[in-house]
Structure 1
């Protein structure tokens, strides 16, 4: 029966909690090495919005990306470019423990966007932790290959935990759902 509620995962979540983490999500132009961030949302541990912005990308937004998040060219036309958004975002992230659902992806796209604009990435990758991996170990379902825990989509993880927040594929909503999922793990009776 799931979740298995792995006590080591609950303990790890409680250790992370001591650092008062924040949670980030991004929406992007795609998944490739050429793609960039076009929306960032950051919330605190309780889901309160700390930062939210659309970002005007240096490349067109492909239709397949629009089909996922609904962000169109006209929505970002008057938005800040990455450098301006980063000037506001960096002080918020500096020195903080940062959770993301599929942190490897968000971190890669943040760094990619930074590099695309000729900027040096200033954050330590160890500031980021992956709520998707934490949830997979908490839930305890073995992957079909049998060599790791099965990853779950954010929406499915939220639904399995009875979290009534939507997964709209918009950055702020997904950051709020990620924070709520982390809190669910942290508050689970050990």
Structure 2
């Protein structure tokens, strides 16, 4: 298409009443701080003048302030006047701006007092504090001296106390610090001169670096006393280290002997939770050699919470047809009778066993007994059943063997048992802990002795 044809088409689009096309509207100008025309207003300024934006009114310019952003500017001539406020609204606004103390109407809302009253109260407090004694808190008629802010009586007491402290300090530094010793180390004149150089208006003074604290005999006696204390501390520290070494040897020896003892059993349970009334859903007993003597699911008689199932993976459907705790109690008692029972964190497992035993014996309580008597009898029977067992904990010895000390708790951190949260697997994990502890004992036995580095 030629340029002549394009120009003709453009002229054909122009209306007959106009000889040229309309120019596009110019974009609003952006002004900096102090550069905007004086008649333009922001929306907040329009509201202060009781004006509001007209429908469809657009900003005619913008005001840009660094770190604050861009603000719209409007022409007040295009704005619409606001509806006059009602008398009740005006009264409420006036009440919010009225100071409760002076009763004057301010330009800002007032809560407790206006800024003028606040300043007056602060100045009054300062004037009152200037007339208040710092010691007895008595308010005088005139301001007290700014140097000490005390009334004459309190100032006299303060000076007397300072004199007593100064005299006591001179007496202290001029006499030997040895117990019961009265040997003079320097003159009082020298002490007072050093004291005046530091200033008498204070409660303590420092000694000169070249002044002796004790005479020669007392210095020798003090050095001997410190040497005896140091020797005593070293002996106590050596005894403590020896006790720790023997305890470490005892731990690894205990683990090695437990693995070799055929009368050692490892027990673990999985429960419905960590509460005191948690029920057992799985119980396992393994020998020291790893033989599975008991590994069974138990029907707790209550629903298994979802949180517990997510940990050990046992659901209500898994234990629906399983035995109850009372059904396996006789077998469990026969296995544990006369054996050493090792449990990782025995306080928890013994607690859930006590709860299950109490419920079992409660069902077996005499018919003629009252509810309280039956509960007391069941608790006694459960305690007697558990008292006949020889239960030993593995968690504390193993945690001490690992030696992950916690500064916060002041003790070794309890180590988690990595067994997968199933009863038989946790029992095998306990045996692994014993093997890790006993391995150093076996190594030392082959090498001819145990030392602190070998026992962990």
Among candidates 183, 187, 190, match of residue 435 of structure 2 = 183
Counterpart CA distance in 2 for 1:181 and 1:20 is 18
What CA deviation, in whole Å up to 9, does each residue of 1:10-66 have, x standing for no partner? 123245454731101100001111111110011111111010110001211111100
Counterpart CA distance in 1 for 2:355 and 2:319 is 19
Aligned-residue RMSD, C-alpha:
2.1
1:129-140 correspondence to structure 2 within 5 Å: 129-140=392-403
TM value normalised by structure 2: 0.37
Does residue 45 of structure 1 match 2:293?
no
Counterpart CA distance in 1 for 2:328 and 2:258 is 27
User: Which residue does 2:114 correspond to in 1?
Assistant: none
Unpaired runs of at least 5, structure 2: 1-244, 363-377, 444-449, 451-456
Unpaired runs of at least 5, structure 1: 156-166
Among candidates 140, 147, 168, match of residue 410 of structure 2 = 147
Indicate if the aligned counterparts of 1:143 and 1:151 stay in contact, CA closer than 8 A. Answer: no
User: Which residue does 1:161 correspond to in 2?
Assistant: none
Indicate if the aligned counterparts of 1:136 and 1:150 stay in contact, CA closer than 8 A. Answer: yes
User: Which residue does 2:263 correspond to in 1?
Assistant: 20
What displacement does 1:125 show?
7.0
Indicate if the aligned counterparts of 1:99 and 1:128 stay in contact, CA closer than 8 A. Answer: yes
Counterpart CA distance in 1 for 2:401 and 2:340 is 20
Question: Which of these two proteins has the greater Rg computed from alpha carbons?
Answer: 2
1:92-111 correspondence to structure 2 within 5 Å: 92-111=335-354
What CA deviation, in whole Å up to 9, does each residue of 1:156-186 have, x standing for no partner? xxxxxxxxxxx22110111111122112212
**Deviates most, 168-177 or 121-130:** 121-130
Does residue 7 of structure 1 match 2:249?
yes
**Greater length-normalized contact order (CA 8 Å, ≥ 6 residues apart):** 1
**Deviates most, 71-80 or 138-147:** 138-147
Cα 1:7–1:96 change in 2 (3 A) is: same
Q: The residue matched to 1:50 in structure 2 has which SS?
A: strand
Does residue 56 of structure 1 match 2:295?
no
TM value normalised by structure 1: 0.84
Counterpart CA distance in 2 for 1:142 and 1:19 is 33
Counterpart CA distance in 2 for 1:28 and 1:125 is 23
What CA deviation, in whole Å up to 9, does each residue of 1:110-150 have, x standing for no partner? 11111123252213276111111110111112124242221
Counterpart CA distance in 2 for 1:62 and 1:74 is 12
Indicate if the aligned counterparts of 1:37 and 1:109 stay in contact, CA closer than 8 A. Answer: yes
Cα 1:66–1:152 change in 2 (3 A) is: same
Counterpart CA distance in 2 for 1:144 and 1:153 is 19
Q: The residue matched to 2:354 in structure 1 has which SS?
A: helix
> When the two structures are aligned, how many residues end up with a matched partner?
176
Q: The residue matched to 1:56 in structure 2 has which SS?
A: coil
